[in-house]
Amino acid sequence: MSTQPLQALAGKFADAYAARAADPARALAAERFRAEGLPTPRVEAWHYTPLAALADVALAAPARDPAVLAARIPDLGVPRLVFGNGRYRADLSTPPADLAVRTGAPAWGVLPEGLQHHLVALNTMFAEDGAEIVVPPGTDAGVLMLVHLATGGASHPRHAVRLGANARLTLVEIALGEGAAFHNPVITFAVGEGATVVHTVLQEESAEAIHLATVFAEVAKGATYDSFLLTLGGRLARREMHTRLAGPGAAAHLNAAQLLGGTQHADFTTDVVHASANATSRQTVKNVLAGHARGVFQGRILVERDAQKTDGYQMNQGLLLSPTAELDVKPGLEIYADDVKCSHGTAIGEIDPEQLFYLRSRGIPEGEARAMLVRAFIGEALDGIAFAPVRAAMEERIGIWWEAQQAS
# chain residues binding other proteins, by CB under 8 A: 35
Binding status of residue 397 toward other proteins by CB under 8 A = no
237/319 with CB nearer other proteins: 319
Binding status of residue 375 toward other proteins by CB under 8 A = no
Provide the Cα torsion 79, 83, 88, 94; round to 10°. Answer: -20
Closest by alpha carbon to 166, among 132, 192, 134? 192
End-to-end Cα, the chain, rounded Å: 34
Q: Identify residues 349-368 at the interface with other proteins (CB under 8 A).
A: 349-350
> Strands 196-204 and 236-245: what pairing?
unpaired
Closest by alpha carbon to 84, among 201, 178, 213, 199? 178
Q: Identify residues 43-72 at the interface with other proteins (CB under 8 A).
A: 44
- Interacting span for other proteins (CB under 8 A) from 75-83, 182-190, 325-333, 380-388: 325-333
Q: Nearest approach, Cβ of 336 to other proteins (angstroms)?
A: 5
24/353 with CB nearer other proteins: 353
Counts for the chain of helices (H) and strands (E), in that order? 7, 21
Closest by alpha carbon to 401, among 285, 288, 237? 288
Q: What is the DSSP letter of 14?
A: H
273/327 with CB nearer other proteins: 327
Distance CA(166)–CA(195), nearest Å, equals 4
Give the 3-state secondary structure of residue 236. strand
Pick one of 69, 195, 320, 369: the residue that binds other proteins (CB under 8 A): 320
Pick one of 4, 94, 116, 343: the residue that binds other proteins (CB under 8 A): 343
174/378 with CB nearer other proteins: 378
Q: What is the DSSP letter of 115?
A: G
Beta carbons of 166 and 197 less than 8 angstroms apart: no
Pick one of 119, 201, 250, 321: the residue that binds other proteins (CB under 8 A): 321
Pick one of 334, 366, 368, 383: the residue that binds other proteins (CB under 8 A): 334
Binding status of residue 331 toward other proteins by CB under 8 A = yes
- Interacting span for other proteins (CB under 8 A) from 71-79, 131-139, 179-187, 314-322: 314-322
60/347 with CB nearer other proteins: 347
Binding status of residue 332 toward other proteins by CB under 8 A = yes
Pick one of 327, 385, 390, 398: the residue that binds other proteins (CB under 8 A): 327
Beta carbons of 232 and 266 less than 8 angstroms apart: no
Q: Nearest approach, Cβ of 151 to other proteins (angstroms)?
A: 35
11/345 with CB nearer other proteins: 345
Closest by alpha carbon to 137, among 91, 168, 178? 168
For 55-109, the three-class secondary structure string (H helix, E strand, C coil) is HHCCCCCCCCCHHHHHHHCCCCCCCEEEEECCEECHHHCECCCCCEEECCCCCCC
Binding status of residue 383 toward other proteins by CB under 8 A = no
Q: Nearest approach, Cβ of 357 to other proteins (angstroms)?
A: 16
What is the CA 381 to chain-centroid distance, rounded?
15
Q: Nearest approach, Cβ of 99 to other proteins (angstroms)?
A: 41
Kindly tell me the sign of the dihedral angle through the C-alpha atoms of 387, 391, 392, 397: positive
- Interacting span for other proteins (CB under 8 A) from 120-128, 260-268, 272-280, 347-355: 347-355
184/310 with CB nearer other proteins: 310
Distance CA(269)–CA(285), nearest Å, equals 10
- Interacting span for other proteins (CB under 8 A) from 9-17, 134-142, 144-152, 315-323: 315-323
4/324 with CB nearer other proteins: 324
Q: Nearest approach, Cβ of 173 to other proteins (angstroms)?
A: 29
Q: Nearest approach, Cβ of 134 to other proteins (angstroms)?
A: 38
DSSP 330-358: EEEEEE--SS-EEEEEEEEES--HHHHHH
93/258 with CB nearer other proteins: 258
Q: Identify residues 253-312 at the interface with other proteins (CB under 8 A).
A: 305, 308
Residues at the site binding other proteins, with contacts judged by CB under 8 A: 44, 305, 308, 318, 320-350
